[in-house]
Structure 1
C-alpha cells in the first residue's frame, strides 16, 4: 500500500510527463460507475484516475459534493425515522410494556393519529391539557397489588382459586378453582356454588354448609373454624370505548380498577374527557369518575374495581378552557359547565407572584365573532366559563406606587417608601442613617418624574437645608435624591513604583505618603536595588494655564540610607500619580556558571570571575587537559539568549510568509542551544587572542578523547565510517563508501569537524579532513520541484480518493 501511494505521489509530482485531457466531475463519476460495474479494484480505479489527469483539487471538490448530498439524505432519513418512531411510540408502550391485548382496526389507527397529534404539543407546556399525561406516565400505572389481603367485598367468579381452611377439633384444607358453572366440589357435600358472592358472604355460606359434615363448627361455642381466602385470582375481560387512544377489549386482573384500565388503553385522546368517565355494568351506570379529584385532591374513592363484562365509556369533553399569562400553571383545563373562573384559577395553581390580581381578561368565541370580557376580582366566583374560552392574566406594572431612592454619600443608600415619616428630603437623609463625612454639601440633586412622564432636575443647597436656613423640600413618588461624595467628584489618585522592589505596581494614593511608605507597601527593596539613586517623576498640572507647555514632567532624584531619604529630601511628600523608579545597582552581579566536561582533570561547573573570562581561563580552572584529550576536536555548546530566540522566531515568520515551504516552517522549533565553532588548540597556544573565545553564562565546553575514524554520509552508494588516514583526501574516503550516487552534487561536498566548524572540500582535501570528521555529499537539485506542502496535500487527497469511490457508487445508484 505504501508503494502504491508513493507511485501516485510520483505521478502528480511530475504531471508534465503525462499528456492526458483532464476529466470533468461528471465524467469522473461516470468512470467510477463503469469501473465498479466491470469489477475493478479501488487500487486500479485510483491509478487510472491519476493517469487521466484528475487533480487533488478535483478530488476534494467531488468529495465535498458527495458529503453535502449525503448530509441531505441523512436529514431526510432522520425525518422519516422520527416520524415512524413517533407513530410506533403509541404501540410500543401499550403493546410491549403494558402487555395488553386489544382489538385493532380503524379505531386504533384513529387513536394513534390523535396521540401523535397530542405529542406535538409536548414541546409547549401551555398547549397541553391538564391531566392528559397521567395515563401515559410509566411511573404511574395504577397496577393492582396482588399481594394485598383479600378484600371482603371482592366478588368471586369462575377462574378464582379459593382456599378453604378448617382448623380446631377438625382439620382440613381445600384448594380448588371455581368452575365455569360457578361452583367447587367438596367431599361429602357436593357442589358448592360461590360465584357472585363476596368473600364475606362466601365465608358465612361455608360456615353453614360445612356444619353439615363437621359437628364442631355450629353452636354457640364452636370447637372448629372454617375460613375462605383467595389463591390465584382470575382474569376478567372489560371493554373501553369512546375517546381513548386505543379503544377495545382488554383482559385484566380481577383486582384492576378503572384507572389501570385507562392506562392500558393509552389514556384519553385529545378530545377525551377526564371529568366524566362512566362505568357501565349490566346496562346500568355504576360510577361516574372525575380524574381531577384524584390529581388535585388525591381522592381514590371513585376508582372502582372492575368486574367481568364492565364497559368504560370516555365521552368528549364539554368545556375546554385555556389560561395564559401570569398563572402558576398556564395550560388547557377541562371545566364543567357549572364551574367559574375562581375554580379555573384554583386548577392553575393560583396567580404567579408578579400577576395582576384585581382583574383578568377573557376572550370568548360567540359563534359569530369574538367577545372580550374584563372580569373584576369580585366576579371570579360567579362568572361561568364556556367551551373555547381563553383567560389571560396580566402582569403587574413596571412602576412603584410609593418609592423614593437616595444615592451617594449616605450610610444606607437605596429604596424607601414615601409615607408620613419619610416625605421630605431631610427626613429621607435621616432614614438613610445620615450623611457620610465626604458628602459634598454645596449641592445635591433631585431627579423627578412628573405626571406626564417628563423629567426635571432640582438643585438643593444641602448645607443650608441641614442647617435649617432653607425650608425642607417635599418628596414625590419616584424621586431620586443624589448626594455626591468628594471622592466621587475627583479622579482617584494612584502611585506607581517600578524596578527593584518586592511587588512593583500601582497603589492607591493617601495624603502625607512618602517615598519610604510606598517602598514599604511595595514589599521593600530587593538585594539588587541601588540606594545611591531613587527617581520620582511628577506630572505637570496647571488647569488655569491657557498656553502650550513643552515640559512633559518633573524628575526628582534621592539617596536612600537605612530605609530613609537622606538630606533635604527627607521631608519629600508624594502627590497623586507620581511614579517612583528604584534602579538596579551597577555594582550588583549574580553568579554566572559555565561547565567543562570530558578529558580535563577536574570536570564540572565553574563560576565566572570576570566578565571577559576565556576558554584558556576555564581550562586552567579545571586543572588542564588529560593526556588522552583530543584538544582540536573540543566543541562549545552555548545557550540561546532571549534576543537570539526572538531573532530565530522572526526568521521562521519570514519563512512562512515566503510561501516556499510553510509546513517545514510550522514544524521547525527553535532550539535552546547551538554549537559554537572553536579551536581550543589555538586558544590554549595563544591565550587572550581572537581564537580564545570569551565565555558567557550557560556555556558548556566538551573536550573529547581522540577519535580516529571518519564518517561518510549523504549521496554515496554505501554510507560508512572508516579509519582516519593522515594523508588521504576526499577521493580515498569516497572509495570506502562505494563512490557517488546518481543524485550526488559532487562539487558541493563538505566536511563537518568535531569542534563544530565546517569546510568545503576542494582540490587537495587531505588537510581539511581530520579525525572524527564527517564528510557530507549533498543531493543535487533536479529542475523545478513541488514544495513539501503541495506534495503532502496531493498525497492526502489521492489517499482519500480510494475510500470515497465506494461511497460515490452507493450514492449514485
Structure 2
C-alpha cells in the first residue's frame, strides 16, 4: 500500500511538472500546477529520481536528445580532458560550491563538544526553585551544594547571564558525547542514512559536510552539543578500485575545431554531392576552377559540359578528368585536387552517452563519430562496435586493438546514412594485484588466464604468479576462491567465466639473504648477505656515520628460526672497528636489521616497537627481557635485555654517563617473585668506579626488569643567575652559587651610586610571581561565585538597597582582579640587608631568576584610591597624610576614611589598625603611596571584597615601581 501511494504521488508530481517544464504545448486536460507540498517533496528526492521525473516531464535525458535536430560538428577536432568531476559523479558535487556530497556507504567523522549556553537570572531562579523542591540547599560556593550543585559564573553586566548545569547534567552529557565519539568513524548505509543508537536514523546522502553539520545541529537530541561532520574521502583499494578498461578514452569533450583544408584526402575517398573539385588548366588554355558536385552527382566543367563524378573514388575521378581534358582540349593539361569536403549525416545509437544523428565531415571515421557523441557508456561494449549500412553490418570495431596495439585498420570511414551501433558490454573479468594494468576487461576471444594477463600487460616485478587466485560465483550462486599457479601450463590454460576476478599476489616484503642498515648513517639501505659476514663488513668505518652518531651502541634486530621469535643484540662499533677480531664485531645473520642511533634525539621510535614484540612473545616462565636506566646518562629509557648483558652494557645503551653523573655509586633495583604470589624489590649498590675499570665482580649480570639509577653529582645543577639594575656601579647579570646573599651581590656590583634611593629598592622573584598568580586565580573564582550568589539573593529578597550599585562595583573589582599582573615582589630593607652580618636573618638569600631594581632618588608622594584626583605630589616634610589627601581633592563619598593605609617605597604597608600614631599624625616619607580604599561595608556585608581592593592597589603600586625604572 505504501509503495502504491508513493508511486501514485511521484506520477502525480511528474504530471504536475509537465506544465512547468513544457509550457503551453501540453494539453489543458492534463495540465496541473504542482502544490507546495509536491515541490518540497520533489526537492527531498534523491538526484536520480529527480532526473527520472524531469525526463518524464520532457526535460533532459534521451527524450530531449531525440527531439533535437541534427548536431552540426566540424572536423577535425581536438579533445581536452574533462574536469576532475565526471558526469557520473556530477550528482554528488554541489553545483554552487563544488564541494562533494555524501553518498551511500561513505564514511564520516564526528566532532562533538558540549555547548556552553547561557541562562538569564529569571531562568536561574526557576532552576533554583526546582533544585530547592528536590532538596538541594543553596551553598556559599555556588547556587547549590552536594550532588545537585548548580555551577554558575557571571557573563554580563546589565542583566547577568549565568552558565548553569547540574553535576548530573554535565555527567550525562559527557557520557552521551563519549558514546558518540567512541563509534567514530561512522558509515552511511546503502540508503545514505546515518543510523546510531543515540541519534536514531538521520538521512545525510546528497548533503555536503557543511549541510550535514547543519542538519545534525538542528536535532533536538544534539541541542546541548556543538557538532562538526567531516567527510572521510577514502580511496577504494583492491577489487573495489578496479575500473572498466578503455572508457577513459572518451573522458573528454569536443573543444577547439580546426579547418579541414590541411587534411590530405585519401585516394579511396568516394566523391559525392557537396564536394568541391579544384581544377587548374595548364598549356594552351589556362584557368582555375572550383567545381561543386551537384545533387545530381555531376559537375559543370567549362568547355566540356556536365560530367558525372558522384559515387566514384577520387582517384578514378582525377584520372578520368585529366584524360578527358588532354583528349578534348588540345595542348592543355589539367591538375585535379579536392577542395572543401561535403558533410554527411550518420547515426550513433545504442549505449552511447548521447545517442542521436550527427552531421560530420566526409572524412570522419567510426571513432570520430563516437567522440562527438560523448563516448560510450560503461554498460556499452568496446569490443563489438557495429558499423551498419543499409541495414547490414559491414564491419565491427574493437577498440582494444586501438588502445593496446595502435591498430586502426577497422576504424572505417563513414558514408551518408551509416549507423554506428554500440551493443551492451559482453562478458567481463577483473584483473587485480601485481599486474601492469589492473582493470575490468571485456572478453572477446580471450578465454584463459594467460590471455587475460596479456590484456593486462603482464606481471609487475613484484608479482608472485604461483599464488594467483580466482574469485568466482559458482553455479550454486556461492562465492568461491580458486588457486592458480600461473607458472604452470595448467594454470595459464585455466578457463575464465563472466564475473571472475583474477588476483595476482605480491611477493613477501621480507628480504632474503640480505641485511638492512637504518638510522643515523649516510648510506642506509639493503646489503647482500654472505656467510661469515660481520658488522664491520657493513659499517666499514666511522666516516659512514653521520655527526653525533652513537658509536658505542648499535642495535640489531634478528629473526630466529624457532617459531618466528625475535632476538635483540647490540654491538660497540668503535671497539669492533678498533679490533675486528674481538667479540664486539658481531657476526650477522640473514634478514638482520641494524639500527644506528644519534645522541641528540630519543630512541623510542626504534626501541618501543621492539619492546612491544618482546612483550608479545613473553611467557610465564620467560618474562619480558626488559631493563631500564635513568638518571644522569645521555639517553635514559627502557632497553631490551640481551643475552649476557651487564651493567656496563646498559650504560652503553644509555649513551654512557652524563657529565653530571656521580661516579661513585649507583642503585640497581631488582624485582623477583620468589613465592609466585607477590613481587619483591631488592636494592643493589653498584660501584661505578669498578664497573668502569672493568671489574667483573662489580659489573654484575642483569635480569629482566632491572632498573639502574645513576645519581647526580652533589651541588650540580643548572647555573643560577640574578640580575641587578638601576643605581649600582656595575649593573647586569651575575651568576651565583647556592646560598649567596644580597649583601654579597651588592659588594660584587660595586655598591650604590650617589643617586640611588635604597629605600625604594624592588626585589622580584619568579616563584613568588607564580604563587601570586595562583592566589589571584583563586580570589577571582571566589569573587565570581560571590557575585553569582549576590545576584540571586538580590533578585529574591525584597528591600535590599543599592543592589545594582553593589553588582556594578563587584563587576569592576572582578575585572580589575582578572587583569592584574603578578609581580612577585619581596619586601626588603636594602640598607640593612647590605650591612647585615653573614648568616643573620637580615641577610637575604638569593634565588635563581631574582631581579633587584635600585631606583633613583625620588621626591614624590602618591595618592590613589577613592580620592577626587589620584595624583603625585612633591614631598614636603611639613605635610601630613591628611594634607596630601586634601591636596588631591579629598575623599569621595565611597571612600573608607577609617582604613586609609600607606604603602612605603620598599613595599611594606602601614595601616591604622591598632596604630594610634597612624591615626594622629603618620610620618610620610618620599616614595610613599597613600591609599584611600573603597568602603565595601556600606554596600554589602562582604568583607572579603576589602582584601581584594587592597591586593589590587598593592599590585598596581608594585607594577608602577618596576615600570618606573
TM-score, normalization by structure 1? 0.54
Which of 679, 701, 715 is the aligned partner of 1:576? 701
| Structure-2 residue corresponding to 1:201 | 316
Instruction: Output the CA distance in 1 between the equivalents of 2:630 and 2:160.
Output: 69
What secondary structure does 1:206 align onto? helix
CA offset digits 1:312-343 (Å, max 9, x no partner): 334556x545668989789876566x875579
| Structure-1 residue corresponding to 2:355 | 247
Say yes or no: does 1:303 pair with 2:411. Answer: yes
CA offset digits 1:632-682 (Å, max 9, x no partner): 2222233x25xx6886787689779979579999989996x7222122244
Instruction: Output the CA distance in 2 between the equivalents of 1:191 and 1:216.
Output: 21
**How far does residue 301 in structure 1 lie from its aligned partner after superposition?**
1.3
Which of 369, 373, 383 is the aligned partner of 1:265? 373
Map 1:294-693 to 2 at 5 A: 294-315=402-423, 320=427, 340=447, 345=452, 349=456, 353=464, 363=474, 390-391=499-500, 498-499=631-632, 526=659, 534-537=664-667, 552-555=682-685, 573-577=698-702, 581=710, 584=713, 593-605=721-733, 611=739, 613-615=741-743, 617-638=744-765, 640=766, 660=784, 674-683=824-833, 690-693=841-844
**How far does residue 298 in structure 1 lie from its aligned partner after superposition?**
3.7
- Residues 152 and 199 in structure 1, CA contact (< 8 A), matched pair in contact too: yes
| Structure-1 residue corresponding to 2:337 | 228
Change over 3 Å in CA distance of 1:742–1:74 after alignment to 2: farther
Instruction: Output the CA distance in 2 between the equivalents of 1:240 and 1:295.
Output: 21
- Residues 159 and 180 in structure 1, CA contact (< 8 A), matched pair in contact too: yes
TM-score, normalization by structure 2? 0.47
Count of aligned positions: 599
| Structure-2 residue corresponding to 1:705 | 856
Map 1:123-134 to 2 at 5 A: 130=244, 133=247
Instruction: Output the CA distance in 1 between the equivalents of 2:359 and 2:627.
Output: 86
Say yes or no: does 1:154 pair with 2:283. Answer: no
What secondary structure does 2:247 align onto? coil
- Residues 233 and 254 in structure 1, CA contact (< 8 A), matched pair in contact too: yes
**How far does residue 308 in structure 1 lie from its aligned partner after superposition?**
2.0
- Residues 864 and 871 in structure 2, CA contact (< 8 A), matched pair in contact too: yes
Instruction: Output the CA distance in 2 between the equivalents of 1:606 and 1:370.
Output: 85
What secondary structure does 2:408 align onto? coil
User: Which blocks of at least 5 consecutive residues in structure 2 are unaligned?
Assistant: 1-117, 130-156, 166-197, 213-235, 516-529, 535-559, 565-616, 787-813, 943-965
CA offset digits 1:170-199 (Å, max 9, x no partner): 765444554445455555445555443433
CA offset digits 1:387-409 (Å, max 9, x no partner): xx55476999x99xxxxxxx9xx
CA offset digits 1:11-40 (Å, max 9, x no partner): 988769999xx9xxxxxxxxxxxxxxxxxx
Change over 3 Å in CA distance of 1:552–1:770 after alignment to 2: same
Q: CA RMSD in A?
A: 6.7
- Residues 364 and 390 in structure 1, CA contact (< 8 A), matched pair in contact too: no
Which of structures 1 and 2 has the larger relative contact order (alpha carbons within 8 angstroms, sep 6+)? 1
| Structure-2 residue corresponding to 1:770 | 925
| Structure-1 residue corresponding to 2:279 | 164
Change over 3 Å in CA distance of 1:270–1:517 after alignment to 2: closer
| Structure-2 residue corresponding to 1:37 | none
- Residues 680 and 692 in structure 1, CA contact (< 8 A), matched pair in contact too: no
Change over 3 Å in CA distance of 1:546–1:392 after alignment to 2: closer
| Structure-1 residue corresponding to 2:388 | 280
Instruction: Output the CA distance in 2 between the equivalents of 1:370 and 1:698.
Output: 78
Instruction: Output the CA distance in 2 between the equivalents of 1:625 and 1:165.
Output: 116
What secondary structure does 1:307 align onto? coil
**How far does residue 685 in structure 1 lie from its aligned partner after superposition?**
6.7
- Residues 131 and 295 in structure 1, CA contact (< 8 A), matched pair in contact too: no
Instruction: Output the CA distance in 2 between the equivalents of 1:676 and 1:237.
Output: 100
Instruction: Output the CA distance in 2 between the equivalents of 1:510 and 1:278.
Output: 76
Change over 3 Å in CA distance of 1:265–1:551 after alignment to 2: closer
| Structure-1 residue corresponding to 2:542 | none
Which of 332, 346, 350 is the aligned partner of 1:238? 346
Which of 869, 874, 898 is the aligned partner of 1:723? 874
What secondary structure does 2:370 align onto? helix
**How far does residue 272 in structure 1 lie from its aligned partner after superposition?**
4.7
CA offset digits 1:412-446 (Å, max 9, x no partner): 99xxxxxxxxxxxxxxxxxx97999xxxxxxx999
- Residues 759 and 906 in structure 2, CA contact (< 8 A), matched pair in contact too: yes
- Residues 156 and 199 in structure 1, CA contact (< 8 A), matched pair in contact too: yes
- Residues 300 and 307 in structure 2, CA contact (< 8 A), matched pair in contact too: yes
**How far does residue 304 in structure 1 lie from its aligned partner after superposition?**
1.0
- Residues 273 and 316 in structure 1, CA contact (< 8 A), matched pair in contact too: yes
**How far does residue 207 in structure 1 lie from its aligned partner after superposition?**
1.4
User: Which blocks of at least 5 consecutive residues in structure 1 are unaligned?
Assistant: 1-10, 23-49, 59-67, 83-121, 219-224, 400-406, 414-431, 437-443, 449-483, 786-813
What secondary structure does 1:211 align onto? helix
- Residues 864 and 870 in structure 2, CA contact (< 8 A), matched pair in contact too: yes
What secondary structure does 1:203 align onto? helix
Change over 3 Å in CA distance of 1:743–1:255 after alignment to 2: farther
Instruction: Output the CA distance in 2 between the equivalents of 1:610 and 1:51.
Output: 55
Instruction: Output the CA distance in 2 between the equivalents of 1:549 and 1:391.
Output: 60
Instruction: Output the CA distance in 2 between the equivalents of 1:207 and 1:343.
Output: 56
| Structure-2 residue corresponding to 1:789 | none
Change over 3 Å in CA distance of 1:209–1:364 after alignment to 2: farther
CA offset digits 1:32-63 (Å, max 9, x no partner): xxxxxxxxxxxxxxxxxx999998789xxxxx
Instruction: Output the CA distance in 1 between the equivalents of 2:843 and 2:859.
Output: 26
Instruction: Output the CA distance in 2 between the equivalents of 1:384 and 1:516.
Output: 62
Change over 3 Å in CA distance of 1:505–1:668 after alignment to 2: farther
Change over 3 Å in CA distance of 1:591–1:204 after alignment to 2: closer
